[in-house]
Structures are given as structure tokens and as C-alpha cells.
Amino acid sequence: MSERTFNVGLLGHGTVGAAFVELLRDRADQVAAVTGLRPELSGVLTRSRGDFDEILEASDLIVEVIGGVEPARDYVLRAMQAGKHVVTANKLLLSQHGEELWAAAREHDVQLRYEAAVAGVVPVIRVLNESLGAAHVDRIHGIVNGTTNFILSEMARTGAAYEDALADAQQLGYAESDPSDDVSGRDAAAKMAILARLAFNTPVHLDDVRYEGIEHLTPEDMEYAHELGLGLKLIGTAERVDGGISVRVHPAFLYGGHPLASVDGPFNAVTIESPAITEVTLSGPGAGGPQTASAVLGDVVSAMIPPASTPPTIDDLPIVTDVESAFYLYLEVADRPGVLAQVAELLGMQGASIKSVVQKGLGDNARLVMVVHPLLESRFFAAVELIGRLDFVRAKPRAIRVIEEQFS
Ligand SMILES: NC(=O)c1ccc[n+]([C@@H]2O[C@H](COP(=O)([O-])OP(=O)(O)OC[C@H]3O[C@@H](n4cnc5c(N)ncnc54)[C@H](OP(=O)(O)O)[C@@H]3O)[C@@H](O)[C@H]2O)c1
């Protein structure tokens, strides 16, 4: 087979960019054997090196691994306007400007690929776009942030406090020195916005995603959860609800039989549910230079072969903000007769019933920990507000959602 050159311009030479350069060098022969085209680097842009226009001119495809919104958005748009394919790992950009960018890709008949933007090397974008392209997806649950999954796994494994587990994660390179986007849930929210857009064919912006982080979780939550048969994860959910969709990220307890319950450490996993297939779970390393570069190179290879594009949205589904959930409720109470009965009554007035309960301690140090059957979140929080005002409640009640489904 005669071999032509396929020129790849690289924007960004940090963790992912540098790993991509190395991988491209190692795998060029293999890519040439598969595609008949030999990929070659046509230029590298950083803040101190390279010229965008020259790189663009010399490239068939642009890889964007700068991160952030600007100037990444401007470069990606200009590349597509010039008729070049683009591969990006940039979830923040796609979750805020995805529709504009996908429309530009369609208009200029180029490919915009972004497998590395969600769950690192786990091929969830490809599966949603291609393998399940015709499936009616009802729900996606995902562990899409490796930093928080590592921290929660460490807290569960060692009983460490959140701050200590975060320090360990930073030392081992699983968390950045400024971990705020990860631990606040914002990074996961951006990824869930992208997955929801693809799964439901409706516009979803990062601002549509409610998110909550893991900073407030304590070793006690882990301990009690363990007794109740639960494990704690930061879960992203995108689901159809009442003719609309809900996309959210929050810590959630899972029973041991859930496919995501055993995903530990810096790994990511995504469960896709659809009536025709029950559920499919994909898991693997969610971040890291070489891993992310591998997803980027996979997209480059795909772009070298057949055309593909993200189609326009076909629905405009409303975003639903009040959804049903089961809850874990942690109360510090004075140990007096009738405490559980009063809590149960306030919950009952909002239609909540208790599924299981653990009671520990004596005197003013008693703990009442329970799992409540699913109900609308607004009703549950209304009950918790009233419970927090009872005179025997010693500290602000803590509530964490519980995902009840188990698959076998
Ligand atoms: N790291 C991961 O594990 C991972 C995983 C999945 C997705 N991603 C995504 O991949 C992207 C890159 O992440 P990263 O960790 O590789 O970032 P990084 O290590 O911070 O590298 C960023 C690179 O972009 C360059 N850059 C920044 N601003 C620029 C500008 N205005 N003009 C030109 N170049 C600029 C930097 O140049 P200088 O060298 O001059 O500073 C640096 O080379 C992000 O979108 C991130 O969300 C990363």
C-alpha cells in the first residue's frame, strides 16, 4: 500500500500533549499499517513556542490539549473553518460551547472528536455515538472523576479524614495542587453535560447540571454506610424524568451489587441503561498523560478513516430539577426516649419511610443513621429542615443520596 503523510498539529504540550508526542512517535508505524497514512507532527503550540496560523496551514488535523475555554475555543473554531479535523480532550470547552462547535464541524464537513474529554481512555463517547447510536438511553450513571474516586476509596479503605486522603492523592499525583474543580464536582458535571447531550440528543450546558462535591464527607459516614451495606462514590447521573431530563453530580451511596460499587481508586466507570440492553458498564483509567494521550490518538486514527460527526440535537427537553432519590440521613442526637419516633413522624409527614436504621452511642453523643426509601428530593429536604430544628438534634443533619438499584 502506498503511504501518504497525515499532518497533525498539536496545541498544548503539557501532561497530555507531551505524552501524545511520545505515543505518536511509538505508534506511527502501526497507524500507518492500519490507515495507509503516516501521521507526522506538523508543529507544537505552547505559550512560548509555535505560531498557530503556521501550524494550521501545515496540518490535516489539529489536536487541542490546551484546556480552558479561551483561546482553545477560538483555535478549534478557526481550525474547523479552515477545513481541518479537530481532536480535543477539553470537557470544559465542550460542556459550555459544544453546540457552537458541533454546528461548525457539520457546517465545514470536518470531524470534531472528543473521546478523551470524558472518562479518559474509557471509550464511552464512541459507544454512545456508534454502538448504542440507535438505542433509547434512559439513564447514565458515571464515576467520571478519578481524583474524587481515589479520595473516597482511601477514606473507605483506611478510615482517613477527607483532608488526609486529599493530601495522599496530591502526593501520588492523582490530584492537582488546586483540586477545586475535581472535589467540588464541577469537572464531573462538565463530563455529565457532554454525556447527557449525546445520550438524549438535546442541548445540555454545564449550567444545567446541579453538582455537589465531596469536601463535607466524614469517616463516620463511611463507617455507618459500611454497616448498612453501602459504599460511597461521587456519582454523575443523567436520566429521563417526567418528559424532561435531569443531570446532576453528587456523592451517593451504592449497595454492593451495583456495577459501580466495586470501581475503586483513580478508575472511572460509566453505566448506560436502555430497555433493549438492560445495562452496559465500561470502566478503565480516567486520567493520566499516557492514558489520555491514547484516547486522543484513537480519535486521530478514527478521523483518518471514515467521516463521522455529532448530529444536531433533535429534542429540546426541559431540565427537571426535583427528582426522586433514596437517602442516607445522619443525625447527632441526645439519647432520649421517643427520638426515633419523632424523626420518623416528620419524615412520614413528607411521605418518607425508613428502610433501615443504625443507632449508636449514649447520652448527648448518640448517633441515629438511617436509609430512607425514595421520595422527591424537595420533600425529603423539607423534612430534614424540620428535623434539624428539633431540640434533641445536636448538629446539622447530614444527608447523602443512595442509589438503590442493583443489577445481577
Ligand atoms: N491531565 C489529564 O490527566 C487529563 C485527562 C483528561 C483530559 N484532560 C484535558 O486535557 C487538556 C490538557 O490537560 P493537561 O493536563 O495536559 O494540561 P497542562 O499540563 O496544564 O498543559 C497545558 C498546555 O497548554 C499550553 N497552553 C496553555 N495556555 C495556552 C495558550 N494560551 N496558548 C498556547 N498554549 C497554551 C501550556 O503551555 P505552556 O507549556 O507554555 O504552559 C501547556 O503546554 C485539558 O482540557 C484537560 O481537561 C487532561
> Tens of pLDDT along 46-77?
999 999 999 999 999 999 999 999 999 999 99
Would the CB of 16 count as within 6 Å of ligand 1?
yes
Percent of the residues in the chain that have a pLDDT greater than 70, as a whole number: 98
DSSP code of 91?
H
Catalytic residue among 91, 191, 233, 355: 191
154-183: average pLDDT: 93
Q: Cα of 121 to ligand 1 centre, how many Å?
A: 17
Give the mutation target among 10, 15, 56, 124 for probing the ligand 1 site: most ligand atoms within 8 A of CB: 15
Percent of the residues in the chain that have a pLDDT greater than 90, as a whole number: 82
Q: Identify the pLDDT of residue 306.
A: 66
Lowest mean pLDDT segment, chosen from 140-149, 199-208, 305-314, 357-366? 305-314
Could you tell me which residues come within 8 angstroms of residue 234 by beta carbon, excluding any fewer than 6 positions away?
143, 145, 148, 149, 152, 185, 188, 213, 214, 249, 250, 251, 252
Q: Residue whose CA is closest, atom 18 of ligand 1?
A: 14
Q: How confident is the model at residue 407 (pLDDT cuts 50, 70, 90)?
A: low
- pLDDT of residue 96 exceeding 60, the answer is yes
Between 407 and 124, residue with greater pLDDT: 124
Q: Identify the pLDDT of residue 362.
A: 72
Closest CA to 62 of 49, 43, 48: 43
Between 308 and 371, residue with greater pLDDT: 371
Q: Identify the pLDDT of residue 47.
A: 97
- pLDDT of residue 1 exceeding 60, the answer is no
Q: Which residue shows C-alpha cell 448527648?
A: 364
40, 8 contact by CB (below 8 A): yes
C-alpha dist (Å) from residue 193 to 96, 203, 255, 270, 288: 9, 9, 25, 14, 22
pLDDT digits (tens, 9 = 90+) for 249-303: 999 999 988 999 999 999 999 999 999 888 999 999 988 899 999 999 999 999 9
- pLDDT of residue 173 exceeding 70, the answer is yes
Mean pLDDT of the chain, nearest integer: 93
Q: How confident is the model at residue 408 (pLDDT cuts 50, 70, 90)?
A: low
Would the CB of 292 count as within 6 Å of ligand 1?
yes
Q: Which atom of ligand 1 is nearest to the CA of 93?
A: 45
d(CA 400, CA 296): 36
93-110: average pLDDT: 97
Q: Cα of 66 to ligand 1 centre, how many Å?
A: 4
Q: Identify the pLDDT of residue 39.
A: 97
pTM (predicted TM-score): 0.90
Q: How confident is the model at residue 307 (pLDDT cuts 50, 70, 90)?
A: low
Q: How confident is the model at residue 246 (pLDDT cuts 50, 70, 90)?
A: very high
C-alpha dist (Å) from residue 243 to 74, 88, 174, 314, 341: 36, 32, 39, 14, 37
Active site residue 191: yes
- pLDDT of residue 208 exceeding 70, the answer is yes
**H-helix or E-strand containing 360?**
strand 354-360
Q: How many residues does the chain have?
A: 408
Q: Which atom of ligand 1 is nearest to the CA of 289?
A: 3
d(CA 339, CA 189): 38
Q: Identify the pLDDT of residue 2.
A: 61
- pLDDT of residue 199 exceeding 60, the answer is yes
Q: How confident is the model at residue 206 (pLDDT cuts 50, 70, 90)?
A: very high
- pLDDT of residue 220 exceeding 60, the answer is yes
230-238: average pLDDT: 95
